[in-house]
């Protein structure tokens, strides 16, 4: 594990990740001002409840909520300060994004729950082979890269290197599922702000995947 005694300069990937989080936070603030703000320009068309924009807002909230849950678990148990810093970034950034997506649905006058998970992605490359309309909720969550209840229980119970390595395994898979969703909304979405947020989200999570893969090597995690 990383020695937390003598502090060395933070790795370059961490500085990049922090910079991307800062950019995403600024974009979040600007977006809320422009989406809900001045009233000096015509409002964009309101998405329907079965639209890709609404589906993305609902499904990514579910996705983010689990990412925050896993990050909170490892934040309490890890002894590695770099991993704890990344967990903090995930908690703060994804909580803010989930709040914004909740706000979109309120602004659009749409319910927070709607179609089955991933229904808005049907017909895309990201959705192909994921079970189609007959897939169960559990199968859809698996296709989104989400952890099972059993995996979450194992993460809560683990300590030390076992916990760190399990977290990295689960969060890499989780991020990869989010990147599929980002690719889909960039193709299917109609609201500029939704696509902008998705693009920023994808950049941050792609950089975090690279960082977590490096951590797996550093921690000696078994592939």
Identify the pLDDT of residue 122. Answer: 84
The number of CA neighbours under 13 Å toward the Cβ of 199 is 11
pLDDT tens by residue, 139-160: 999 999 999 999 999 999 999 9
Between residues 114 and 181, the one the model is more confident about? 181
Contact 38, 109 (CB under 8 A): no
Own/partner contacts of 112-118, CB < 8 Å, gap of 24 or more, are 112/58, 112/61, 113/58, 114/49, 114/50, 114/54, 114/55, 114/58, 115/49, 115/50, 115/55, 115/58, 116/140, 117/59, 117/62, 117/141, 117/144, 118/55, 118/59, 118/143, 118/144
**Has residue 109 got a pLDDT over 90?**
yes
The number of CA neighbours under 13 Å toward the Cβ of 89 is 23
Longest dimension (CA), the chain: 56
Contact 183, 170 (CB under 8 A): no
**Has residue 183 got a pLDDT over 90?**
yes
Length of the chain equals 223
Identify the pLDDT of residue 126. Answer: 54
Tell me the average pLDDT across 204-222: 96
**Has residue 76 got a pLDDT over 90?**
yes
Give residue 123's pLDDT band: very low, low, confident or very high (50, 70, 90). Answer: low
Contact 1, 219 (CB under 8 A): yes
Cα angle 120, 126, 129 (rounded to 5 degrees) comes to 100
pTM of the model: 0.78
Tell me the average pLDDT across 43-66: 93
Go through the domains of the chain in sequence order and give each one's CATH number: 49-219 (1.20.1260.10)
**Has residue 195 got a pLDDT over 60?**
yes
Average pLDDT, the chain: 84
Between residues 35 and 115, the one the model is more confident about? 115
Give residue 43's pLDDT band: very low, low, confident or very high (50, 70, 90). Answer: low
Identify the pLDDT of residue 83. Answer: 98
Give residue 17's pLDDT band: very low, low, confident or very high (50, 70, 90). Answer: low
**Has residue 4 got a pLDDT over 50?**
no
CB-CB neighbours of 44 under 10 Å: 12
Give residue 127's pLDDT band: very low, low, confident or very high (50, 70, 90). Answer: low
């Amino acid at each position: 594990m990383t020695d937390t005694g003598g502090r060395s300069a933070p790795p370059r990937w961490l500085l990049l990740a922090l910079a991307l989080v800062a950019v995403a936070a600024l974009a979040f603030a600007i977006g809320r001002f422009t989406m809900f703000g001045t009233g000096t320009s015509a409002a964009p068309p309101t998405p329907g409840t079965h639209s890709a924009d609404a589906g993305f807002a609902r499904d990514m909230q579910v996705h983010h909520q689990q990412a925050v849950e896993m990050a909170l678990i490892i934040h309490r148990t890890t002894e590695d300060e770099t991993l704890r810093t990344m967990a903090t970034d995930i908690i703060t950034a994804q909580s803010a994004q989930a709040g914004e997506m909740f706000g979109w649905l309120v602004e659009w006058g749409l319910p927070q729950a709607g179609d089955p998970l991933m229904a808005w992605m049907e017909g895309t490359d990201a959705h192909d082979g994921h079970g189609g309309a007959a897939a169960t909720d559990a199968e859809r969550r698996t296709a989104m890269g989400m952890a099972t209840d059993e995996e979450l229980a194992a993460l809560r119970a683990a300590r030390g290197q076992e916990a760190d390595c399990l977290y990295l395994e689960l969060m890499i898979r989780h991020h990869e599922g989010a990147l599929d969703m980002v690719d889909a909304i960039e193709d299917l979405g109609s609201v500029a702000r939704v696509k902008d947020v998705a693009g920023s989200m994808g950049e941050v999570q792609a950089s975090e995947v690279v960082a977590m893969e490096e951590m797996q090597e550093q921690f000696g995690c078994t592939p």
